[in-house]
Amino acid sequence: MNSFPRILILGSAGQLGQELLRSFAGTGEIIAAHRHQADFTAPDQLRALVRNVSPSVILNAAAYTAVDRAESEQDIAAAVNAQAPGVLAEEALRANALLVHYSTDYVFDGSKTEPWVETDPPNPLSTYGKTKLAGEQAIQHIGGRHLIFRTSWVYGPHGHNFLLTMLRLAIERNELRIVDDQVGSPTSSLALADATRTVVSKVLAQPSSSPALWSGVYHMSCSGSVSWYGFAHAIFARAQTLLNGKLPVVRPISTSQYPTPAPRPRYSVLSNQKLSEQFDVRLPSWESELYRVMEVLSCAQSSD
Ligand SMILES: NC(=O)c1ccc[n+]([C@@H]2O[C@H](COP(=O)([O-])OP(=O)(O)OC[C@H]3O[C@@H](n4cnc5c(N)ncnc54)[C@H](OP(=O)(O)O)[C@@H]3O)[C@@H](O)[C@H]2O)c1
């Protein structure tokens, strides 16, 4: 990075937030904030935090991510995912700061059979997807220097995610039934944080470049695609040492056999071509990132 920017990381206790802390270490003065410093359901508190810190970069990894619970907590999901990003955009514009925000593949309805591009019309099926889309729109409406990264199926060594759930269930159960007709791109929190760092460093290296040239929505996910069933299969193929050889039988099922309060898109693979063309950034394949995360988990286990 060209200078030593003051970087505010919101949602720093989440799975992406923790990796942003790792990846941005040494690139600037890092101020990490979590729910106790600024609750996203309290806009005045959030506004005051940003004004006190006076950052030149805001990385917003905070979100209401409980996809099913959002169906019964629509107001809270909207406050965190839709209204708070608007507050952040206003404060970023006021301070001429760069706002980096994350959105989701769940803004799409899953009806395509080839990767979604940024110009495809969103049509979210769930409250989570609708509130995340509203957050994108609030930021874009306010304008200013912003990057909105839509990503998908995020997992990593920390927090609540599919990989850690599979490893836990493998110990508890002998057989798992996993949905095989939803396809997406598992994206590691490590790759997401590292790609964010690369893009931010490129933007900061050209301070006089007009935001109109680069602000906007970008898809940012690991390459390749797989179903949840295929992902589980790949996890267990790598997990023998972590599970001391105890591997469950994994059986494919259809979405209709595993009903959830929030509908999910059947196909939500994101084309990363715009990210690649604009910033020359390409994320690794989901398989290689799975190996990387498993290595991190193995090292953590052996050092316990
Ligand atoms: N996870 C996925 O599969 C996925 C897929 C596509 C896009 N995304 C997007 O990627 C981004 C990062 O997601 P993630 O997986 O890292 O999520 P995560 O692990 O659930 O972390 C979200 C963070 O937001 C914080 N948060 C929740 N409600 C808050 C509130 N009212 N006030 C302040 N902070 C609050 C949480 O705080 P606590 O720790 O206190 O709960 C947590 O630290 C989000 O924008 C998400 O929508 C995620």
Number of domains in the chain: 1
Nearest atom within ligand 1 for CA of residue 62: 24
Decide if 59 is inside a domain.
yes
Distance CA 26, CA 272 (A): 28
What residues does ligand 1 touch, defined as CB less than 6 Å away?
A: 11, 13-17, 34-35, 39-41, 61-65, 80, 102, 104, 132, 151-154, 159
One digit per residue, the tens of pLDDT, for the chain of length 304 reads 546 899 999 999 999 999 999 999 999 999 999 999 889 999 999 999 999 999 999 999 999 999 999 999 999 999 999 999 999 999 999 999 999 999 999 999 999 999 999 999 999 999 999 999 999 999 999 999 999 999 999 999 999 999 999 999 998 999 999 999 999 999 999 999 999 999 999 999 998 889 999 999 999 999 999 999 999 999 999 887 777 777 899 999 999 999 999 999 999 999 999 999 999 999 999 999 999 999 999 888 777 6
7 vs 197: CA distance, rounded Å: 11
3-state DSSP of 80-104: HHHHHHHHHHHHHHHHCCEEEEEEE
Q: Is residue 80 domain-resident?
A: yes
CATH number for the domain harbouring residue 280:
3.40.50.720
Bridge partners (DSSP) of residue 155 are: 188
Write the DSSP symbol of residue 73: -
| The amino acid at 108 | F
Please give the C-alpha separations between residue 3 and each of 146, 198, 288, in angstroms, as whole numbers: 19, 14, 32
Q: Is 83 a domain residue?
A: yes
Q: Is residue 296 part of a domain?
A: no
- Asked whether residue 261 is assigned to any structural domain, the reply reads no
167 in any annotated domain: no
- The domain of 16 spans 6-160+187-223+269-284
Neighbouring-strand partners of residue 104: 151
Angle between helices 162-172 and 286-302 (to 10 degrees): 60
Q: Is 276 a domain residue?
A: yes
Output the pTM of the full model. Answer: 0.96
Indicate if 128 belongs to the active site: yes
Whether residue 217 is contained in a domain is answered as: yes
